[in-house]
Amino acid sequence: MMIYGYARCSTNDSKQDIDRQIRDLKAMGATKVYHEYASGTNPDRPQLQSLKDNIKPGDTIIATELSRFTRSVHHLCHLIEWAADQRVTLKVGGFSADCTGGLNPMIEGMILMMGIFSQMERKLTVQRVKSGVANAKAKGIPLGRPKTKKENLPQTFLDHYPTYQAGQINKAEYARLCGIPRTTLYRYLLVASPNDS
């Protein structure tokens, strides 16, 4: 019997979070972990499908949270039915839904309740973000990353700038000395002197 893990994040910006999920899943006993970056409301996910294609009766699938599997109650219903048809166990955190003997109505009800709260949490988050953006616009607060100005350049960038201008260090070394990504360095150079970018 195999224990498979499934980890998911919505965007690549959460890479560190997906690494944490993978570590947690291995600690929970997963011998193979499928992971991907995709929306929890999208049922057509390549890695989730690959996991489902490789599953056998008696196997276990684990996730750190139900929202990693899905944020849609509709999709969750299909997932529960699929688990029962395949005779597998679904584990979410500390909750285990043993579907190896078919679908238990009590377990189904508990999973669906968890799914409803997960879906509601997502909708509330989206609603809060929209409300926050609308409120900021109404107050005239600029949205997005603030523009970098000469007077806001970090001191470490300014300290090494003369060395860079003298040609004693290249951009890669400059970025390393400042402890910043090269993309950030390019942005700072555009502000300091457009000709240096």
Q: How confident is the model at residue 13 (pLDDT cuts 50, 70, 90)?
A: low
Q: How far apart are CA 11 and CA 154, in angstroms?
A: 29
Exposed, middle or buried, 171 (CB in 10 Å: 0-12/13-18/19+)?
middle
Residues 87 and 31 sit within 8 Å (Cβ to Cβ): no
Residues facing residue 89 across a β-bridge: 60, 98
* pTM of structure: 0.59
Q: Taken in order 108, 113, 116, 121, is the CA torsion positive or negative?
A: negative
Q: In what order do the strands lie in the sheet with 95-98?
A: 32-37, 3-9, 60-63, 89-92, 95-98
Query: How is domain 3-124 classified at the architecture level of CATH?
Result: 3-Layer(aba) Sandwich (3.40)
Residues 86 and 102 sit within 8 Å (Cβ to Cβ): no
pLDDT at residue 34, as a whole number: 96
Torsion, CA 18, CA 20, CA 21, CA 27, rounded to 10: 150
Residue 197 clears pLDDT 50, i.e. is over it? no
Q: What digits encode the pLDDT tens for the residues 15-74?
A: 557 889 999 999 999 999 999 988 888 888 999 999 999 999 999 999 998 889 888 888
